[in-house]
Every structure is written in structure tokens, then in C-alpha cells.
Amino acid sequence: MATITLRQLKGKPVLSLGEGETLGRVRGFLLDPAEARIVALVLDRRAPNKEPLIVATANLYQVGEAAITVEKRESVIPLSYIPRFQELARAQSPILGKMAITEDGTRLGRIRDLALEAPALRIDALLVGGFPGRLRRVPAGQVRTIGPDAVVIWLGSARETAKAPLPRPLEGGAPVGVPESTEGVASVEGAPAKEAEASPSPGIPEEAAWERWVEHMPGQGEEGS
């Protein structure tokens, strides 16, 4: 299955196959932690009442190199048409910039991007930074919890990790990786507008922490710069 990163999605045109019309460009995203996938793309155009326009991921025909395609222009709707999406948009906790921390409190680095399966846009892996010129890959199945302040990574055997659930919010916490307001969308250019603060384990550099985690999770590698 093809994969694409969250940052690669931003700016892509959305094209209707029925009309051959560009309906807008991707400005941002709505991520549903319960499903561990992007459930809607937010466009750079607005409805007459200034409400954000979105395309539900379920209505995507294909995610291509040059464009994202949908069957017809009616695939673009105002945000308020789907109450669940409104709820996600009100949560103010973008996933990019959150600290990835293992169960024992050791930080691995901040989340710089997401690898997504196309066209469903389900999370395939977290791409964690913090190391000069490199991104590290943490498979979605190895994520224990996505909370308002940090993402917790399983620390155990590969067998145990294979049985781990996909990302979910902390009890009582808000969904993550969503627009910072109902009018805007979480930034994916450079550093996030508001990065979550997380206390590192004292005396353990991120590079050493990563190597220790890899010992528990064999087969993990680098994504490159």
C-alpha cells in the first residue's frame, strides 16, 4: 500500500473527476484518534458564511503525486455538516510537536511528521525527530497513548507490541492532531505553533534513549532527513 506523509499532503490540489475542477488545496487536517487516521482534509477555501470547507477522507477517490481526486464537487462540504468533525476541530492539541516518551519516562524526541496509508490516510507510523538530520520511525502499533501533552510508546517485547492497540486519547483528554480552532488548521510547516511540553528523563540523552528503545523493538530504523 502506498504511503504519504502529513507534510506532503499539505498544499495538494483537490480535483473533482466529474467536473475536472480544482476545488481547493489542502490547508490542514482532522485526525480522529479513535480511528488512528485522518478523517477529513480542510481546504484553503471557505463557504459564503466564512465557514471552513472540508473533504471527508471517506470521499477521496485517490491520493496521487500531483493531486487528490474526488468523484464530484459535492464532496466538498462545510465543516458544520458533520458534528463529529466539529468536535475534533474544537480540540486544540495538534499531534505534530508532541514529545514521544516511553513507558519508563524516557523521551525519544518530538513528532515531526506522520506516515499515512493512502488513500485511507490511516496512521502507519510516527516520524520522530530530535536527532540532527534524521527522523526515526515508530510504527503506529507501538504507540500506547496519544494524550494532550505527550505520546506514550510501548516499552516491551516485539511480540507484546504487536498486540498493542492503535493510538487512543487519554481518558478525559481531547483528540489530537486537529485544527487549533474551528477556523484554522494545525500547522505543518516547520515547528508547530504550540509544541507540547514534556519533562525528559534526567541524564538520558535522546540518542541513547532511542538506542535503548530499539533494543526492545528490533527492526526499527531511520527515515533519513
List the alpha helices (DSSP H) in 136-190: 158-162
pLDDT tens profile 93-111: 788 899 999 999 988 899 9
Q: Determine what percent of the chain is predicted with pLDDT higher than 70.
A: 66
Q: Tell me, what's the pLDDT at 225?
A: 42
pLDDT of 26 above 90: yes
What is the average per-residue pLDDT within 186-208?
45
Contact 156, 216 (CB under 8 A): yes
pLDDT of 215 above 60: no
Query: In angstroms, rounded to a whole number, what is the distance separating the alpha carbons of residues 166 and 62?
Result: 24
Parse the chain into domains and list their residue ranges. Answer: 3-91, 98-153
Query: In angstroms, rounded to a whole number, what is the distance separating the alpha carbons of residues 28 and 11?
Result: 9
Superfamily of domain 98-153 in CATH is PRC-barrel domain (2.30.30.240)
Long-range pairs, 75-81, Cβ under 8 A, ≥24: 75/16, 75/23, 76/14, 76/23, 76/24, 76/43, 76/45, 77/53, 78/47, 78/49, 78/51, 78/52, 78/53, 78/54, 79/42, 79/51, 79/52, 79/53, 79/54, 79/182, 80/51
CA angle, 115 as apex, 27 and 213 as ends, to 5°?
Answer: 135
pLDDT tens profile 50-103: 999 999 999 999 999 999 999 999 999 999 999 999 998 987 578 889 999 999
CATH number of 3-91: 2.30.30.240
Q: Do domains 3-91 and 98-153 have the same CATH topology?
A: yes
pLDDT tens profile 135-184: 889 999 998 887 878 889 987 633 344 444 444 443 333 333 333 333 33
